[in-house]
């Protein structure tokens, strides 16, 4: 029950999760050039992060949290005025995170370190390269149309789950307001100007967002959606007609599963969870109004929207820890061997059975 | 697809086609039923572009297409054609403007209407030039294709919509992502070419060729992929790559003996689009243009050996789509601009602040010089290119705007050489919208 939490608990959970996420080794792994993760792999990592502290979530609440995160991120990536702005969105995320843990200098340092790495790795990319990144991310989000209450309320999402794309507002930095046609003669001298009008209603923005460690990002995408307490309802649509494409995605084995498990394993190894004083397994976060509602949601979630999550219990008991340590040992293999796709799947199944 | 068939302006209209769209469910085709694949059989003749009069004269006759069987139907007009009827908003003659017509004061070419939405098996991905249309001039039935991740969604004149997977996957490799697909119409055959993160494949009724790219074993900082497809010189198919190299494949009239004729290495950035001359190239203007992520445009003359005729340096802004017509390069950019360049001299002739977001698709109708542009801002615009015979200035006028609500347009193609009909698709859209 969230109302039983104290501020100390809240701070504890925030610190644990953020320090796990910005763990140096974890970040090192993320910064390596790699393929887009499968939905299953990303969901598993997310699950693990959410359980990095004393907070617990049941499957249904976890699904809902993941839905919220995915749709919010899809919205941000889709609506970026320029492809380069996905970096500004990321900086907005980090700025908000720093706000949560500003009292812990060690964690703040971790986040700043990641910030610097982002600036170093991505600042020099061209617009075309950023667009390629964005196009690849959009492949991940394709066909996801889960309705999010606050998006519906803010008229940012339609009732069919698709996002509203405004045809008014500031144009991206570097783009001109549509309307002008300029004609040049063979000497390059402008000889004529004409205009055309459309339904759009745009204006020139005042300034560009900052890509420095500190600065005004200008862009609002990526800022904290829940800075004021807001409802967390999501509406999961019935079976979508894109069942064919989704089913296909689930059946193609991802041979990179092995790689994903390697850094997941490091994540597991790097954790250092203290048992709470009361000896109980921590606090459970329920994103629904009642336990019954949560249970019902778990049972009625449409099959095609099931994430087929790999369930990894947070290690609290020593017996479990030993078991995982053994698995850890098995997982630390040096080179990926071609044709070992089967083994990757086996390892995922192994963790499933924990 | 490159429309190399341009009808001389004075020819009589061919098979009357009162329908300017593909109705659903699709009726049986007029010609005897062929193979169930969406690809028409080899041997479909495609006439080469020959304008009987000088290029300029042809450009100055905007109302020629009044006699076209694809004349747009005015609202309320019956099907079956209403030739000669003066009522309603018919296509305006030069100097006569039909009443009640929306649109710009200048171009006055008449409006388009949304006609049909054709269902695809899967939604379209956000990729440049993500719509290919096969519309052989002698046959109304058309086929459409749009990329979805690792598969190509196909919609043909016969049979249900289907999906074509990318090749290059195997038991140890994950299926590669497709970047583009295009029907390539050569004189003797039509090939469906697909480019992916792993290579280039071309299909006729079966796989005609597969060219693997040099893909590193572990992912490197820069992606490797092929992108940008065009027919060139009626004999070659050119495909761009992420390294900037353009591969030139020599395609035999039949069979699978395809050879890599040349590798053109002039671009330093990933190639985005390639286009062949669709009209009549003036002296020294070249017949192929290639574009890349930095906005650099290269002009080539094709043949046994391709020759670089000119290079227009980019400003760092990606040119995502390009067309070439009567020596005019029309280029669409990431900052929403359309620029018209003189192919022969490399001179900028026009600059249009066309869209509020990244342009994803351009297409050109060779009979009329109509230009279609689609972008992430949800808009599709129709423009008219022409050339002033006295000053030799290039002209571009805005004809029509369509807003595809809440959709980032990623593919837009004319469905006939005069540009009376066009089709559009967008990211996350499982439909092709026809206008």
CB neighbour class for B206 (10 Å; exposed up to 12, middle 13-18, buried from 19)? exposed
For chain A, give the percent of residues with pLDDT over 90.
Answer: 45
User: Edge to edge, what strands does the sheet with B297-301 contain?
Assistant: B271-276, B288-292, B297-301, B307-312
For residues B150 and B402, what is the distance between their CA atoms, to the nearest angstrom?
30
pLDDT reported for residue A285: 79
Residue with tokens 């905007």: B62
**In whole numbers, what is the pLDDT of chain B averaged over residues?**
79
Q: Using one digit for the tens of pLDDT, what is the confidence trace for B143-196?
A: 999 999 999 999 988 778 888 888 876 655 678 899 999 999 999 999 999 999
- In three-state secondary structure terms, B383 is strand
φ/ψ (deg, to 5) at A123: -60, -30
For residues B433 and B404, what is the distance between their CA atoms, to the nearest angstrom?
9
Structure ipTM over 0.95, yes or no: no
* All domains of chain B in start order, with CATH: 115-215+223-434 (2.130.10.10)
Interface contact flag, B391 A185, Cβ < 8 Å: yes
Show residues of chain B in contact with A172, CB under 8 Å: 335, 356-357
Confidence of residue B139 (pLDDT cuts 50, 70, 90): low
For residues B398 and A197, what is the distance between their CA atoms, to the nearest angstrom?
9
pLDDT reported for residue A38: 82
Any idea which of A130-139, A291-300, B408-417 has the lowest mean pLDDT?
A291-300
Any idea which of A248-252, B45-49, B331-335 has the lowest mean pLDDT?
B45-49
For residues B361 and B409, what is the distance between their CA atoms, to the nearest angstrom?
8
Sign of the four-CA dihedral A243, A248, A251, A255: negative
Q: Could you say which of B126, B148, B336 has the minimum Cβ distance to residue A178?
A: B336
Whether residue B379 lies within 8 A of chain A, CB to CB, comes out as yes
Q: Could you say which of A82, A244, A254 has the minimum Cβ distance to residue B174?
A: A254
Cβ A57 vs Cβ A294: under 8 Å: no
Show residues of chain B in contact with A185, CB under 8 Å: 391, 393
Q: In chain B, whose CA is at the least distance from the CA of A169?
A: B356
Alpha carbon A315 to chain centroid, angstroms: 24
Q: Using one digit for the tens of pLDDT, what is the confidence trace for B91-115?
A: 333 333 333 333 444 444 568 999 9
Interface contact flag, A252 B174, Cβ < 8 Å: yes
Among residues B140, B176, B134, B137, the alpha carbon closest in space to that of B155 is found at B134
Q: Got the DSSP string for B115-129?
A: -EEEEPSSPBPS-TT
User: Edge to edge, what strands does the sheet with B359-365 contain?
Assistant: B359-365, B370-375, B379-387, B394-403
Interface contact flag, B335 A174, Cβ < 8 Å: yes
Q: In chain B, whose CA is at the least distance from the CA of A253?
A: B174
For residues A261 and A244, what is the distance between their CA atoms, to the nearest angstrom?
28
Q: Could you say which of A127, A167, A177 has the minimum Cβ distance to residue B318?
A: A127
The strand pair at B337-342 and B348-353 is best described as antiparallel
Among residues B372, B389, B386, B388, the alpha carbon closest in space to that of B425 is found at B372
Cβ count near B166 (within 10 Å): 23
For residue A217, what are the CA distances in angstroms to A86, A90, A342, B357?
A: 11, 10, 45, 20
Q: In chain A, whose CA is at the least distance from the CA of B174?
A: A254
- Between positions 35 and 64 of B, the ones with CB within 8 A of A are none
Confidence of residue A260 (pLDDT cuts 50, 70, 90): very low
Among residues A50, A118, A132, A242, the alpha carbon closest in space to that of B127 is found at A132
Rounded average pLDDT over B381-404: 94
Instruction: Give this prediction's pTM.
Output: 0.77
**H or E segment at B212?**
strand B207-212
């Amino acid at each position: 029950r969230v109302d039983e939490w104290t501020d100390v608990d809240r701070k504890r959970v925030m610190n644990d999760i953020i320090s796990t996420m910005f763990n140096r080794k974890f970040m090192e792994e993320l910064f390596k050039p790699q393929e887009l993760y499968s939905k299953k792999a990303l969901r598993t990592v997310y699950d693990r992060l959410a359980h990095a502290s004393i907070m617990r979530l049941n499957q249904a609440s976890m699904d809902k949290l993941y839905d919220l995160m995915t749709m919010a991120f899809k919205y941000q990536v889709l609506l970026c005025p320029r492809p380069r702005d996905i970096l500004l969105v990321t900086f907005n995320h980090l700025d908000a995170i720093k706000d949560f843990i500003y009292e812990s200098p060690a964690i703040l340092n971790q986040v700043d370190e990641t910030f610097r790495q982002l600036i170093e790795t991505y600042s020099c990319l061209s617009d075309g390269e950023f667009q390629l990144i964005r196009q690849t991310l959009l492949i991940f989000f394709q066909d996801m149309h889960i309705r999010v209450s606050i998006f519906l309320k803010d008229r940012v999402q339609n009732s069919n789950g698709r996002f509203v794309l405004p045809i008014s507002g500031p144009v991206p930095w570097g783009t001109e307001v549509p309307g002008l046609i300029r004609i040049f003669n063979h000497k390059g001298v402008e000889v004529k100007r004409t205009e055309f009008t459309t339904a759009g209603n745009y204006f020139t923005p005042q300034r560009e967002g900052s890509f420095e460690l500190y600065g005004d990002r200008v862009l609002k995408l990526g800022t904290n959606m829940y800075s004021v307490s807001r409802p967390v309802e999501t509406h999961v649509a019935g079976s979508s007609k894109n069942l064919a494409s989704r089913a296909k995605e689930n059946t193609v084995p991802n041979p990179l599963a092995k790689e994903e498990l390697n850094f997941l394993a490091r994540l597991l190894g790097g954790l250092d969870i203290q048992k709470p004083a009361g000896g109980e397994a921590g606090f459970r976060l329920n994103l629904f109004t009642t336990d019954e509602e949560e249970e019902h949601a778990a049972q009625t979630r449409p099959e095609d929207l099931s994430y087929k999550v790999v369930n990894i219990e947070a290690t609290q008991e020593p017996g479990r820890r030993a078991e995982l340590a053994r698995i850890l040992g098995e997982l630390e293999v040096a080179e990926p061997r071609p044709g070992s796709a089967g083994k990757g799947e086996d390892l995922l199944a192994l963790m499933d059975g924990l | 697809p490159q429309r190399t068939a341009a009808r001389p302006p004075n020819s009589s209209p061919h098979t009357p086609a009162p329908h300017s769209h593909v109705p659903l469910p699709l009726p049986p085709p007029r010609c005897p039923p062929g193979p169930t694949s969406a690809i028409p059989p080899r041997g479909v003749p495609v006439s080469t572009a020959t304008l009987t009069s000088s290029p300029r004269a042809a450009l100055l006759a905007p109302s020629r297409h009044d006699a076209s069987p694809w004349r747009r139907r005015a609202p309320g007009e019956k099907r079956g054609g209403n030739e000669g009827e003066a009522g309603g908003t018919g296509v305006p003659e030069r100097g006569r403007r039909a009443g009640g017509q929306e649109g710009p004061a200048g171009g006055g070419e008449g409006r388009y209407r949304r006609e049909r939405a054709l269902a695809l098996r899967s939604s379209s991905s956000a990729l440049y030039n993500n719509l290919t249309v096969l519309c052989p001039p002698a046959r109304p039935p058309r086929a459409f294709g749009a990329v979805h991740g690792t598969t190509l969604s196909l919609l043909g004149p016969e049979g249900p919509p289907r999906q074509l997977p990318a090749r290059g996957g195997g038991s140890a490799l994950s299926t590669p992502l497709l970047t583009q697909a295009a029907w390539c119409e050569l004189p003797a055959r039509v090939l469906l070419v697909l480019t992916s993160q792993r290579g280039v494949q071309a299909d006729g009724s079966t796989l005609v060729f597969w060219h693997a790219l040099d893909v590193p074993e572990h992912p490197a900082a820069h992606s490797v992929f092929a992108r940008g497809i065009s027919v060139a010189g009626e004999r070659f198919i050119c495909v761009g790559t992420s390294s900037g190299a353009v591969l030139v494949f020599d395609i035999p009239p039949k069979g699978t003996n395809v050879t890599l004729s040349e590798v053109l290495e002039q671009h330093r950035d990933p190639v985005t689009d390639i286009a062949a001359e669709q009209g009549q190239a003036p002296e020294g203007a070249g017949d192929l243009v290639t574009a890349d992520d930095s906005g650099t445009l290269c002009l080539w003359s094709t043949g046994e050996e391709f020759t670089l005729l000119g290079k227009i340096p980019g400003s760092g802004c990606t040119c995502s789509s390009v067309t070439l017509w009567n020596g005019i390069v029309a280029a669409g950019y990431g900052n929403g601009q359309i620029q018209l360049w003189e192919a022969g001299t490399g001179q900028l002739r026009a600059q249009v602040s066309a869209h509020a977001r990244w342009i994803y698709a351009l297409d050109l109708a060779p009979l009329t010089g109509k230009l279609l542009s689609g972008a992430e801002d949800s808009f599709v615009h129709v423009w008219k290119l022409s050339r002033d015979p006295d000053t030799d200035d290039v002209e571009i006028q805005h004809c029509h705007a369509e807003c595809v609500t809440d959709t980032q347009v990623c593919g837009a193609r004319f469905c006939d050489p005069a540009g009376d009909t066009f089709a559009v698709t967008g990211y996350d859209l499982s439909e092709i919208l026809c206008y």
